[in-house]
């Protein structure tokens, strides 16, 4: 492991400008770093802004959305300053992405082999023959026993788990430094999920990539992440090494999430709940965005939104319960 910082995002703001002059602050002041060989999990419920964060990094935000502020530096280069053409070279090459639904992410009219070769020919200038051989090697690497045949097969001929393996093969084809996986196993059964997550971990170690894992599943986080960022209302509300987060959650939202999770190893009579629902991104409350659902909310929580404050060099939390005064 080299431990170099692969991705460094600072003050990222991605807003959506809605028809009626309202602004949805989908991502609002997000800082995150991913180092080589490290798995960083971005967790949150639907509407927390985790997917928009990942799409912002890839610069795949379409109108009415816009990255309004921030710096996204990949291997020291600020991606926001690149032209579209330069960015096309970065995508799939330095940074690759895996999505939740492999059937919609793969093109149904091209063979699996063609889709891997396309990336290799575009980014690596390989000949057809070289690209085909490399595609077969990659398919073998991600666990296709009959790679020579699979290379000629279409996505519909593969099962869900196998399609996700093919996606991984495409993603790692150019040895990216950063792999973004957005809910990569949410559509898969548990036994297949375990296979895919193991494969991703293995590839991460082998290629010394940084892995940004976006998920709503705290179980997956506990098993595969090194560091965890918890998102709520477009902001990071807590940041901690995995162990600390699960053993000693600080933010009332993290605490609530962990309590509401049924477990196969615990016996719980009643699940803890967080009252209410996530406010929509154009109607965040004044003050702390979690205040309306927080059991510990104080007067000032309804007035001003707390900053993300460092507790020590590896932990940070956005909550007034941890401020001095």
**Listed residue (55, 160, 170) closest to 110, CA to CA:** 170
Of the candidates 11, 271, 295, 314, which one interacts with other proteins according to CB under 8 A?
271
Q: What is the C-alpha to C-alpha distance for residues 200 and 142, in angstroms, rounded to an integer?
A: 9
- Residue 159 within binding range of other proteins, rule CB under 8 A: yes
Q: What is the CA radius of gyration of the chain?
A: 21
Residues numbered 162 to 221 that lie near other proteins (CB under 8 A) are 162, 189-195, 197-198, 216-221
Of the candidates 85, 264, 283, 313, which one interacts with other proteins according to CB under 8 A?
264
Residues numbered 38 to 97 that lie near other proteins (CB under 8 A) are 45-46
Of the candidates 247, 283, 312, 325, which one interacts with other proteins according to CB under 8 A?
247
* Number of shown-chain residues binding other proteins (CB under 8 A): 45
- Residue 320 within binding range of other proteins, rule CB under 8 A: no
Of the candidates 63, 85, 265, 283, which one interacts with other proteins according to CB under 8 A?
265
Q: What is the C-alpha to C-alpha distance for residues 183 and 280, in angstroms, rounded to an integer?
A: 21
**Listed residue (214, 240, 265) closest to 98, CA to CA:** 214
Question: Which are the contacts of 52, defined by CB distance < 8 A and separation ≥ 6?
Answer: 14, 26, 27, 61, 65, 234
- Residue 108 within binding range of other proteins, rule CB under 8 A: no
Of the candidates 222, 297, 308, 309, which one interacts with other proteins according to CB under 8 A?
222
H or E stretch including 218? helix 218-224
Q: What is the C-alpha to C-alpha distance for residues 158 and 199, in angstroms, rounded to an integer?
A: 17
Residues numbered 223 to 242 that lie near other proteins (CB under 8 A) are 223-224, 242
Least Å from the CB of residue 216 to other proteins: 7
User: What does the DSSP assignment read for 11-34?
Assistant: EEEEEEE-TTS-EEEEEEEEEEEE
Q: What is the C-alpha to C-alpha distance for residues 47 and 224, in angstroms, rounded to an integer?
A: 23
Least Å from the CB of residue 266 to other proteins: 8
Of the candidates 110, 154, 246, 302, which one interacts with other proteins according to CB under 8 A?
246
Q: Choose one: 3-11, 72-80, 114-122, 255-263; the region binding other proteins (CB under 8 A).
A: 255-263
**Listed residue (293, 292, 295, 288) closest to 317, CA to CA:** 288
78 vs 273, beta carbon nearer other proteins: 273
47 vs 287, beta carbon nearer other proteins: 47
Q: What is the C-alpha to C-alpha distance for residues 59 and 69, in angstroms, rounded to an integer?
A: 13
- Residue 274 within binding range of other proteins, rule CB under 8 A: yes
Least Å from the CB of residue 215 to other proteins: 10
Q: What is the C-alpha to C-alpha distance for residues 284 and 41, in angstroms, rounded to an integer?
A: 24
Least Å from the CB of residue 260 to other proteins: 3
Binding residues (CB under 8 A) for other proteins: these are 45-46, 159, 161-162, 189-195, 197-198, 216-224, 242-243, 246-247, 256-265, 268, 270-274, 277-278
């Amino acid at each position: 492991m080299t431990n170099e910082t692969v991705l460094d995002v600072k003050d990222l703001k991605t807003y959506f400008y809605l028809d009626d002059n309202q602004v949805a602050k989908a991502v609002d002041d997000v800082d995150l770093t991913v180092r080589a060989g490290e798995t960083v999990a971005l967790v949150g419920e639907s509407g927390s802004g985790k997917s928009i964060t990942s799409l912002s990094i890839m610069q795949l935000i379409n109108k009415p959305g816009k990255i309004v502020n921030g710096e996204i530096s990949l291997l020291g280069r600020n991606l926001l300053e690149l032209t579209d053409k330069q960015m096309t070279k970065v995508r799939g090459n330095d940074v690759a992405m895996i999505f939740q639904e492999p059937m919609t992410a793969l093109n149904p009219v091209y063979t699996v082999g063609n889709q891997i070769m396309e990336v290799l020919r575009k980014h690596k200038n390989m000949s057809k023959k070289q690209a085909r051989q490399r595609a077969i090697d990659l398919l073998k690497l991600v666990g296709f026993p009959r790679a020579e045949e699979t290379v000629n097969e279409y996505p519909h001929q593969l099962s869900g788990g196998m399609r996700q393996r093919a996606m991984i093969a495409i993603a790692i084809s150019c040895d990216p430094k950063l792999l973004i996986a957005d809910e990569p196993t949410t559509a898969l059964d548990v036994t297949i999920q375990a296979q895919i997550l193991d494969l991703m971990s293995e590839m991460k170690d082998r290629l010394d990539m940084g892995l940004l894992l976006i998920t709503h599943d705290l179980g997956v986080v506990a098993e595969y992440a090194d560091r965890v960022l918890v998102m709520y209302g477009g902001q990071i509300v807590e940041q901690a090494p995995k162990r600390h987060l699960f053993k000693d959650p600080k933010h009332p939202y993290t605490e609530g999430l962990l309590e509401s999770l049924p477990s196969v190893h615990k016996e719980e009579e009643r699940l803890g709940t967080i009252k209410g629902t996530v406010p929509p991104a154009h109607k965040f409350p004044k003050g702390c965005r979690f205040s309306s659902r927080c059991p510990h909310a104080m007067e000032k929580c309804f007035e001003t939104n707390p900053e993300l404050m460092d507790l020590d060099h590896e932990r940070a939390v956005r909550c007034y319960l941890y401020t001095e005064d």
